[in-house]
Amino acid sequence: MRIDHVALLVADLERAARFYEGVLGLTRLPRPALGFDGIWYALADGQSLHLMRLDDPCTGCTRPTHGGRDWHLALAVEDLEALRARLDAIGWAYTMSRSGRRALFCRDPDRNVLELSAR
């Protein structure tokens, strides 16, 4: 068994695209008409990330400060230090893994948590 795709909710597709493409460097995939707005991105080994344009059902909910204690999507990256430098350059908040692993946690513009770890 393997993950085919992960879906995240976003309120603004263009804002999300600036983060996922401009900051994380993901490549957009063709997407069939599904009756709702969204964007698909390629991940490794035929896996993909699906962004769905829907309002956040957790608006007003209290979420943990450290993303490692919240639900999250974990992605292995080729160059964690380069990604960290990009986040620093734009002032994007993140926390380092508390376990000592080479990983960081950040939230996308819609508060979805991403764990980004060194391969």
CATH code (residue 34): 3.10.180.10
How is the chain split among helix, strand and coil, in percent rounded to 5? 25, 35, 45
Q: How does pLDDT run across 17-64, given as a tens digit for each residue?
A: 999 999 999 999 999 999 999 999 999 999 999 999 988 777 788 888
Give yes or no for residue 12 having a pLDDT over 90.
yes
The pLDDT of residue 114: 95
**Structural domain that includes position 97:** 5-55+65-118
60 in a structural domain:
no
Question: Into how many domains does the chain fold?
Answer: 1
The pLDDT of residue 19: 97
The pLDDT of residue 107: 94
The pLDDT of residue 3: 87
Q: What is the mean pLDDT of the chain?
A: 92
Q: In the chain, how many H helices and how many E strands? A: 2, 8
